[in-house]
A and B are shown apart, each in its own frame.
Chain A
């Protein structure tokens, strides 16, 4: 047990100084520009510069003092942190309230072999209250910390298994076994299909729309001359080049953020590491995973790729999207079941879903087309009769409705419910009965005439919930799911 008071690495003083400096840049530049006009005379003309210097000094001093005042130690089964510039604050976190330690290495950290440690706790009734962050400590120290905390946690749970905890210590010391690595090709697919593709498509569209206008004409040459003179072509080319550059940048950025993506299994934790410049490590305890969802966006679906996300209970209030974690950002769909079998052996990922009845298709199409009714009515009235062409808008929505209908499905196996449904993205949710917080079955007036019913199941996800809903199931099927969930 290490119980001496420890400080963060001095670099954290510099880091906090730099962070403050970043916020001060704009006012300083303003001051500087305003002040640079005119001749400098007496003391008062230099006043702004002097005060700037003073502010800098104070900020630097504050950074140093903050660093001096910040101590952490492990004592009596608690992580004890004391800090505060003027008001001394103490934050004691018992080990068994600590869910995981998440490491990240920024550009500042890497040359010194440092990591930033985020302490995640189970979602408390007062979010953000018992979370802590160690801005910069040596990597060895962080690992030591992790080992001690996990060992103590284990001890707390199983009092008489000292030997076993030794073994755990061994295994957590190793890298754990890597279950998934993202290949360069995967990252390419991720980059090319994430919004970036929209950019490039629009670029191509701009380009070709300019071309198609003059291709059919006989006097191609003249047209081109006129075109070039009018500068339209140049604008088209230029915008395409710009968009292309933006896209290349986004690809590069994806490589920086998702490079070296790995998933390891370490005891009962999933450890996700990623990043080329800034290394991030997220630890998710297996028993906090509420459910798994495979998400396919239409473009990726076309190429046979998908994303796997997990719903995480608790999560950190500091990190916006820590409740739904992208476990695998992009992967060939064929590989998913084999991969997930390694990570979650107790989930069953079969593909034989029960589909929706034929008569549900009509409801799906009507529901999707509903969205365009009001715009169509408005357009038709305003631009009569040409506005009637807006009715064509209904076609893509009807097609979406058809695909939503096709995606809908459900499956029960033992204590697991799998639901498949589509908004624009297709979701396949795998839910354990013991993780579903509540289940709804809804019959609308229109549905009751056709013996259809919708089912929705809510999981805990972060501080709130995530609801999966399949619409227009056969009434008997909905009843079967309902009684599957019933505890009586």
Chain B
């Protein structure tokens, strides 16, 4: 197998993912706060409160610091003349090949958070599958979308 794909996604993705992590952590914090209130009210054993706080701390570390970093480090992609290659995943490192001839259409999507950071996500659809490259710089994403659709149009079938 040739070496891993070369291009990385925008470093700003880190900020976006951390922001997502903060939101998820806040949601969990509300639940944990509820557990703490209940356990003081009803005199539950101490270990329940301790466990809840431990879970929250671990979750915070994982979602805001650890996972975004490792995810960003792992995320690679490469658009070549005949195919697109993606690599991602933390415990399961997954590499995907999508031949240009199979590409049916390419979209860019931008949610409110991505928009704030001037980022876009590219989705590449074949007849059966959808693939995503998250958090590319919007200009770069537009350019990439354009070039993929051009390459897909000229790609020769190999039947």
Contacts and interface: CB of A to CB of B under 8 A. Distances in A.
Nearest to B99: A487
A458 B128 CA distance: 7
A459 B83 contact: no
Given A487-B82, A488-B82, A437 B94 contact: no
Given A479-B1, A482-B1, A487-B100, A433 B95 contact: no
A43 B96 CA distance: 75
B159 interface: yes
B127 to A, nearest CB: 4
Interface size class of B (residues with CB under 8 A): 20 to 34
A360 B150 CA distance: 42
B116 interface: no
Interface in A448-488: 448, 458-461, 464-466, 478-479, 482-483, 485-488
A457 to B, nearest CB: 10
A119 to B, nearest CB: 21
Given A458-B128, A487-B158, A438 B92 contact: no
Contact of B97 (A448, A461, A482): A482
A444 B83 contact: no
A308 B105 CA distance: 33
A461 B129 CA distance: 11
13 contacts: A434-B157, A437-B126, A437-B128, A437-B129, A438-B96, A465-B127, A465-B129, A482-B1, A482-B95, A482-B97, A483-B2, A488-B80, A488-B82
A461 B128 contact: yes
B102 interface: yes
Given A440-B94, A445-B92, A488-B80, 5 more contacts: A438-B126, A442-B92, A444-B93, A485-B99, A487-B99
B98 interface: yes
Contacts of A466: 128
Contacts of A465: 127-129
B81 interface: yes
Nearest to B156: A487
Contacts of A241: none
Nearest to A442: B94
Interface of A: 313, 415, 433-434, 437-445, 448, 458-461, 464-466, 478-479, 482-483, 485-488
Contacts of B129: 437-438, 458, 465
Given A483-B2, A486-B83, A488-B82, A440 B158 contact: no
A184 B107 CA distance: 53
B94 A445 contact: no
A443 B127 contact: no
A433 B101 CA distance: 11
Given A440-B95, A443-B92, A460 B100 contact: no
A458 B159 CA distance: 17
B81 to A, nearest CB: 7
Contacts of A433: 158
Residue in B98, B127, B157 with the greatest tally of chain A CB atoms within 10 Å:
B127
A466 B128 CA distance: 8
A459 B127 CA distance: 9
Nearest to B95: A441
Given A313-B127, A464-B128, A487-B83, A437 B96 contact: no
Contacts of B83: 486-488
B89 interface: yes
Given A442-B93, A458-B128, A483-B2, A488 B158 contact: no
Contacts of B58: none
A464 B130 CA distance: 10
Nearest to A487: B82
B115 interface: no
A438 B157 contact: no
B46 interface: no
Contact of B96 (A415, A440, A479, A483): A440
Given A487-B82, A487-B100, A438 B131 contact: yes
B30 interface: no
A434 B95 contact: no
Contact of A445 (B1, B91, B101, B157): B91
B93 A438 contact: no
A284 to B, nearest CB: 17
Contacts of A445: 91-92
B134 to A, nearest CB: 17
A441 B159 CA distance: 23
A486 B99 CA distance: 7
Nearest to A465: B128
A315 B82 CA distance: 29
Contacts of A437: 98, 102, 126-129
B159 A434 contact: yes
Interface in B112-144: 126-129, 131
Contact of A486 (B94, B97, B157): B97
A183 to B, nearest CB: 36
A6 B98 CA distance: 48
Nearest to B100: A487
B108 to A, nearest CB: 19
A488 B81 contact: yes
Contact of A460 (B2, B91, B95, B128): B128
A460 B159 contact: no
A295 B94 CA distance: 27
Contacts of B1: 441, 478-479, 482-483
Nearest to B96: A440
Interface in B65-91: 80-83, 89, 91
Contacts of A448: 93
Contacts of A434: 157-159
